[in-house]
Amino acid sequence: MRAYHKKDFPLSKIRRFIEPGPIVMVSSAHKGERNIMTLGWHMMLGFEPATIGCFIWDENRSFSMIRASKECVINVPTFDLVNAVIGVGNTHKSKRDKFEQFGLTPVDASKVNAPLIAECYANFECKLVDTSLIKRYSLFVFEVVKAHVARSPRYPTTVHYRGDGVFMVSGRNLSYRRRFKRVNL
């Protein structure tokens, strides 16, 4: 597993990586502990500010860490990380450090205390901006405050979860740009 070389990315365009629906790895930190969880239930909720909703299961340790710290990083893994994705997803409530356990490298973020995962294609530093839907829907609403995205490849090969242990791996990328009305791009 290699670390991607990344650059700053415009926040208003992060939908490119979230809207296609990949599994993401959410990293968090609180009171000297850090943690990672895998997450497939998320959606874009706005371009500017860049807003993402995430369903975070309350059985995960991440749930309380993110609620208390009001921060996280949403990391987009590529297919080469599928073993870590599965491994992290299998370990709820474990106190072992998941970075060490799965060979992932924490990198300091610039606007939050939660660590970036170096081996992920994209890292979105997030602030929790609305806690009012946590009780009813386990829905955390995050504003992305800083985005780091790999320079290459142009489109990441992501993993998408179908349930029952089956992943769909992202396939071809096809541009129909000329067929879109400009306002709808």
Nearer to a copy of itself, 41 or 97 (CB): 41
Q: Which is nearer to a copy of itself, 32 or 163 (CB)?
A: 163
Q: Which two tokens stand for residue 63?
A: 């749930």
CB closer to a copy of itself out of 95 and 181: 181
d(CA 30, CA 109) in angstroms, rounded, equals: 14
| Closer residue to a copy of itself (CB): 29 or 158 | 158
Q: Retrieve residue 49's tokens.
A: 């500010």
Q: How many CB atoms are located within 10 Å of the residue 86 CB?
A: 15
Q: What is the DSSP letter of 106?
A: E
The least CB distance from residue 9 to a copy of itself, in Å, is: 12
Distances (CA, A) of 100 to 34, 131, 178: 11, 30, 46
* Residue 166 in contact with a copy of itself, rule: CB under 8 A: yes
Q: Is 129 in the site for a copy of itself (CB under 8 A)?
A: no
* Tokens of residue 117, six digits: 């995962």
Shortest CA distance to 43 belongs to which of 63, 66, 67, 17? Answer: 17
Asked if 152 interacts with a copy of itself (CB under 8 A), we say no
- By CB under 8 A, residue 101 contacts a copy of itself: no
Count the site residues for a copy of itself by CB under 8 A: 51
Minimum CB separation of residue 103 from a copy of itself in Å reads 16
Of 110 and 173, the one with the shorter C-beta distance to a copy of itself is 173
Residues in the chain: 185
User: Which residues lie below 8 Å from residue 134, measured CB to CB, with a gap of 6+?
Assistant: 56, 67, 140
Task: State the residues that interact with a copy of itself by CB under 8 A.
Answer: 13, 15-17, 19-22, 40-46, 53, 55, 82, 86, 89-90, 92, 133, 137, 139, 141, 155, 160-181, 184-185
